[in-house]
Structure 1
């Protein structure tokens, strides 16, 4: 069984209870249809398990299959520098079928981001390095597709695109 090689840290994007006994890490791709299917399941898991879970999202853009994935990851990170990572994350998944530079700029405007700062950050080497760091950490952890989930450091290989399979992971 594969294990998470990069420990969860303050630099990660997290939702939920930082002291939770269950830490769920997703390596995801914003243009991946399977990640799009998992998105509402993760939100439901967070609603149902509340303080029992900490969720971490890490970027794993599969650029050969999903040409807009890197651009979307960089947009989420750029929004994160203005305190709106999760809002952009959610909006990107909600508009997954129409991802483009124009769509991402429209979403940033909708979030009332400082557009000059967003445009600069979106193209910055700093954010590119962050996304590449997530990707490399995923590779070291045995990630070879998206979404890939790790619960408390151990890869969970029984996700079958149902909410019930994620809920089973929480009960195991």
Structure 2
């Protein structure tokens, strides 16, 4: 008999409050739990992004939706939580995905000074950004993502769900594209 730990399902369904690229009623909905300071999370995100670009020619627009949820692992990545807070502070200014990219590109430099520099580069309202970070107003949002991940069997980042089912195949572009193609049919 199969071990139940091998078959996890997404407990918290995709919501409009999530950080979404695409539409929620897409044929394939990818939900990634990630940590900005985690090298494997950055690689998984880059792989998903490459797969999306490669599939654009064969898929209709809005057939693949990508959702990112926070799963900072502060015990091994001390800057992951603060980086997630910076992404949320950018989100309220309409720049989540731009900050998301910036954080993964510069994941080796996620201290407070760097986060301020990235926000400044993005042209964010700096007094608001700094006030939001200093008041830690997005911690509950991040904790909700983490708790949803735990409830879905996530123990470490990255974790990917495809149409609500935990993706456990290999992390190559070919394997991911094949899995997305199968999920689309």
Q: Same fold (TM over 0.5)?
A: yes
The alpha-carbon deviation at position 47 of structure 1 amounts to 1.7
The alpha-carbon deviation at position 42 of structure 1 amounts to 1.6
The equivalent residue for 1:94 is 105
CA deviation vs aligned residue, 1:63-120 (integer Å, no higher than 9, x gap):
0010000010000000000000000000000101222111111000000000110011
Q: TM-score, normalised by structure 1?
A: 0.94
Structure 2 CA distance for partners of 1:5 and 1:123, relative to 1, 3 Å = farther
| Cα pair 2:87 2:99 within 8 Å, conserved | yes
| Cα pair 1:76 1:89 within 8 Å, conserved | yes
Report how many aligned residue pairs link the two structures.
171
The equivalent residue for 1:46 is 52
Most deviating of 107-116 and 41-50: 41-50
Structure 1 segments, 4+ long, off by >4 Å, are none
For 1:18-97, list aligned pairs within 5 A.
18-50=24-56, 51-97=62-108
| Cα pair 2:28 2:65 within 8 Å, conserved | yes
Q: Which has the higher helix share?
A: 1
Where 1:149 maps in the other structure, the secondary structure is strand
Q: TM-score, normalised by structure 2?
A: 0.88
Structure 2: tracts of 5 or more residues without a match: 1-6, 57-61
RMSD of Structure 2 on Structure 1 (CA): 1.3
